[in-house]
Amino acid sequence: MVSTRHDVAIVGGGLVGTSLALALDRIGMDVALIEATPAGALPAVFDERNLSFAEATVNALTALGVMQKLRTPAAPIRRIHVSRQGDFGRVQLDAGDYGREAFGQVVMARAFGEALEARLDEAPRVVRYRPARFLGVDDGGGVARGIRIAGEEGERTIQARLLVGADGTRSAVREALGLDADEHDYAQTLFVARVRSERAPDGTAYERFGDDGPTALLPRADGQFGVVHAVAGKHAAAVAALDASGFIARLQQAFGWRVGRFLSAGDRSTYQAVGLRAPTVLDQRAVLVGNAAQTLHPIGAQGFNLGLRDALTLAELIEGQPDPGTDALLAAYALRRQDDRERTIRFSDGLARLTANTDPLLRPLRAIGLMAADRLPALQGWLVGGAMGYRGDVPRLCRALPT
């Protein structure tokens, strides 16, 4: 049982955990990154999905040197189009109306994972424990926490002045710390694929709501769209059994004809739509970030953008401090994240529930809401600010424009 000391230990090598490791390396922290995936392989999260990065996220990832490492180009989101099947009204937002070239960028998850790997190879202060499985943590007394992990060489304990749980919705760190989480099953299965249509992407991101949930189309740089199609859980097995032409026909019926006829679809993957919120994200010398703290419905593509703001706020508060795990520092973190976190969770959850509700009495209210959002500048400004990642106390790296 060999013990190694670090300033910060991060459990989870996914999107938020690796981004946090880079942010901490940038400010001189000695970081342990505990990853389940072996060297030479990417975590499952870096698959064929398409990630929608808000402008604030693009700013931060550029400052961290990640966007520059992308080998597959990102695609700009210049316009946003929102509608609901069977309801009047729609919302159309154009970045040019707000003095922006784009609201954000669409990045393929695998390309993002490769870019993060390339940056981690250049991070001298990040020690990667992989493959390693988190086993548990001590009671938190003293100036560090002991973190037990199991790897190819057996079990060992590492010491860190701060433990960060960035290990996803089913967080083993959250469970080990005894932190509760409120969970909601949206009873939806999400089918993710890439599709080709008669009309090539023109920078418009579409969100089309229906009784089963949303169907989102994101523009890709390769001339295809990334699609996320929500299906009621009771229909998921039947949809999974469809051949390519059957899936395309279902997608056409759900989305409509705004990009013409769908011509082909790539391989499909499926995910369950689950919402989760940990009321408390702090313990002695420990904190939860990203999906371990809150998991959002993918509607509006807020999840990673919110988790990255968790990570960057934490790194910003740690910078220049002699001890990254004090009660005062962690309390300041929770306070700074409270507004953004709560408002984004409410927005995502409320939108997912409202738009999938089949009660006919809600139809006129939804239509009025869509028309108001399309015509009222104040409401549009609020929506745009959230879509671009400028909600609450925004971290410095998110505010800095790329150079």
DSSP string, 273-319: EEEEE-S--EETTEEE-GGGTEE--STTS-HHHHHHHHHHHHHHHHT
Mean pLDDT, range 100-116, rounded to an integer: 93
Q: What's the pTM?
A: 0.90
List, in sequence order, every residue forming a beta bridge with 228; answer none if it has no partner: 192, 216
Structure tokens at 124: 């001298």
In this predicted structure, the answer to whether residue 286 has a pLDDT above a threshold of 60 is yes
Q: Where are the alpha helices (DSSP H) in 171-243?
A: 172-177, 236-240
In whole angstroms, how far apart are CA 143 and each of 117, 158, 161, 266, 284? 31, 13, 6, 51, 10
CA angle 173/339/100 to nearest 5° reads: 110
Q: Any idea which of 283-297, 334-348, 382-396 has the lowest mean pLDDT?
A: 382-396
Q: What is the pLDDT of residue 40?
A: 86
Give which of 369, 317, 330, 343 is closest to 83, Cα–Cα.
369
DSSP string, 196-210: EESS---SEEEEEEE
pLDDT band at 206 (very low <50, low <70, confident <90, very high): very high
Q: Which residue has the tokens 């108001």?
A: 372
Distance (Å, whole) CA 133 – CA 146: 14
Mean pLDDT of the chain: 87
How much of the chain exceeds pLDDT 70, in percent?
87
Q: What is the pLDDT of residue 365?
A: 41
Give which of 61, 169, 55 is closest to 118, Cα–Cα.
61
Distance (Å, whole) CA 313 – CA 345: 17
Question: What would you report as the CA-atom Rg of the chain, rounded to the nearest whole angstrom?
Answer: 21
Going along the chain from its start, the domains and CATH numbers come out as 3-74+110-183+275-365 (3.50.50.60)
Distance (Å, whole) CA 42 – CA 114: 8
Q: What is the pLDDT of residue 87?
A: 60
Distance (Å, whole) CA 166 – CA 145: 16
Distance (Å, whole) CA 252 – CA 402: 38
Peptide bond into 131 cis (omega under 30): yes
In whole angstroms, how far apart are CA 183 and each of 262, 293, 342? 35, 11, 15
pLDDT band at 85 (very low <50, low <70, confident <90, very high): confident
User: What's the one-letter identity of residue 103?
Assistant: F
Task: Name which residue leads in pLDDT, 379 or 338.
Answer: 338
pLDDT per residue as tens digits for the range 362-385: 444 444 344 444 444 444 454 566
Structure tokens at 72: 């597959």
